[in-house]
Chains A and B, each alone.
Chain A
């Protein structure tokens, strides 16, 4: 038969389909933990999304993380998963007529939330703006560094996660690794995040940050009271953001956030939006208030105000 030889040639050549299958299989195998990996690595590999964990499963996960961090940092680390307090919706106020731009908040946050020191990640970014222009983000300066602040003719606007009621970052996550909790805090499951950074592109406030490298966090500076959805040490390749210090504020009684505690001028206010007697409601009802990029309809729960 005249075609026989041709067919033989094809039989020995690898088809495109076969080759792609092979590549996929090899890549898939590479993504798996090594054959001699300890059991905890397999546990982490098969861990479910935080919201699907049953109580005993969650406890196992927390214990595994505590052991892992304890081994890595040679200090006892507590990882909690305190649920939201019922009837609470967290709100934040920032008094722009008080803020002097000293950046104490940004560094207080790094300390409390175990952010990477090197490479540097800062959840709070303080913008210097011109009084003449007002809140004009096109002309904001992030890298100001005079001997003393405030500088004449300027005001300062710290920007961090605005804890939106309709968060665009949550909508775009392809794996539902980030969501808004019942108390209004948008959180990330660092073990579920695939690092695609869609949420960073979607956030109009630049509030999400990516761990390009393994976070550089000295063991001596580690804050050991942590929350699964908050300040526990992050792996490389995941996104992180402000959680209103979830490890502090979800307790009864719960401490103020680190940025509120450290602010030397008392410009930062924190409380329950649903408490009509609270300071957040007082400032919304009595002061000039605005929310950042209101036109995007993200409905932040972070209220900038002018007390005078």
Chain B
């Protein structure tokens, strides 16, 4: 589903959805909860799919099963010596390794802490497990970049479009030239 807030019925739709969720508590819930449920912020809406561009895979690397289907999975934590040597983990290294995020049985999927498999298009859910505050801001459109129509269909970038998941710090850029000093303008 494409997320389009300007679409008529979106806001009531979200409100109805949240109201349904709250309906379970309806018997026990005091009245003031109703007011809260009727006005949810977009960021607090239930889990939904976002329309995102293709994840930025290294050319030719996906689908991973192309190579991995022939291999026997080795669940032992180890350093990669033969393949993927270009990946140097600089993201809570020491605390985890490949198979904490990549699924062992299906290499074309990622793996949440719960064991649920998610596709690479939904990698924001994986990142959001630790970076909950950023995930919340991203869903509200405040963290990360959106392009397209400000009052219509938007494109979301995935976390991994700006942050290399194995080394997520944003890389410095060369600045564009400074403006001309007034004294140099003829």
Contacts and interface: CB of A to CB of B under 8 A. Distances in A.
Contacts of B172: 100, 148-150
Nearest to A147: B174
Interface in B128-186: 137, 140-153, 157, 162, 170, 172-181, 185-186
A277 B150 contact: no
Interface in A224-272: 249, 252-257, 260-261, 263-266, 269-272
Residue with the greatest number of chain A CB neighbours at <10 A, chosen from B42, B145, B153, B181: B145
Given A101-B175, A142-B178, A271 B150 contact: yes
Given A143-B181, A149-B173, A282-B140, A266 B145 contact: yes
A159 interface: no
A277 B151 contact: no
Looking at chain B's contact residues, the main secondary structure is loop
Given A253-B6, A253-B153, A256-B148, A282 B41 contact: yes
A164 interface: no
Contacts of B148: 255-256
Chain A interface size, under 10 / 10 to 19 / 20 to 34 / 35 or more: 35 or more
Residue with the greatest number of chain B CB neighbours at <10 A, chosen from A107, A144, A254: A254
A293 interface: no
B175 A144 contact: yes
B5 A145 contact: no
A120 B150 contact: no
Contact of B142 (A212, A253, A256, A307): A307
A33 to B, nearest CB: 29
Interface residues of B, number: 37
Contact of B178 (A93, A119, A145, A271): A145
Contacts, number: 118
A245 B64 CA distance: 43
B153 A265 contact: no
B127 interface: no
Interface in A121-170: 122, 125, 142-150
B11 interface: yes
A104 B176 contact: yes
Contacts of A277: 5, 11, 41-42
B43 interface: yes
B175 A265 contact: no
A283 interface: yes
Nearest to A266: B145
Interface in A268-282: 269-272, 276-279, 282
B149 A102 contact: no
Contacts of B179: 106, 120, 122, 125, 142-143
A252 B150 CA distance: 9
Contacts of B175: 101-103, 144-146, 148-149
B141 A279 contact: yes
A96 B147 CA distance: 19
A248 B36 CA distance: 36
A144 B174 CA distance: 12
Contacts of B185: 119-120, 212
Contacts of A74: none
Interface of B: 5-6, 11, 39, 41-43, 137, 140-153, 157, 162, 170, 172-181, 185-186
Interface of A: 85, 93, 95, 100-104, 106-107, 119-120, 122, 125, 142-150, 212, 249, 252-257, 260-261, 263-266, 269-272, 276-279, 282-283, 286-287, 307
10 contacts: A100-B170, A100-B173, A102-B176, A256-B147, A264-B162, A266-B146, A277-B42, A282-B43, A282-B142, A287-B142
